[in-house]
Amino acid sequence: MKADLDNSGEISYTEFLAATLSEEIYMREDYFDAAFKMLDKDNSGKIDFNEMLSILGSDATKNKRVVAEAIQEIDDNGDGEISYQEFMLMMAKGTDIEPRL
């Protein structure tokens, strides 16, 4: 399944988001900026656990696990947050397009 980028057998939330956008649309820098700013509610330049959790809604027990897994999957430097660069790299996975970093 092409949307299952990490070959886990399941489609994660981030994989779902990436799969629902066409490559031409989501690789445009202005779309990256808008999406990242929407997730980065405190304008810190990083998306943290609580910001991701607030987007997913009210099923806290299930969503805490999903958020933790999504952050771990995307967080290349291991700081527990998603930087803009990590966000761009995640969005480019599975495509032939090289993101501008």
Residue 4 domain-assigned? no
| Total domains present in the chain | 1
Is the pTM here over 0.85, yes or no?
A: no
pLDDT given for residue 33 in this prediction: 84
Burial class (CB in 10 A: 0-12, 13-18, 19+), 56: middle
Residue 59 domain-assigned? yes
CATH of the domain at 20: 1.10.238.10
For the chain, 101 residues long, give each residue's pLDDT as a single digit of tens. Answer: 566 667 778 878 777 777 766 555 555 677 788 889 989 999 999 999 999 888 776 666 677 888 888 899 999 999 999 999 999 888 877 665 555 55
Range of the structural domain that residue 55 is part of: 13-92
* Termini Cα distance of the chain: 28
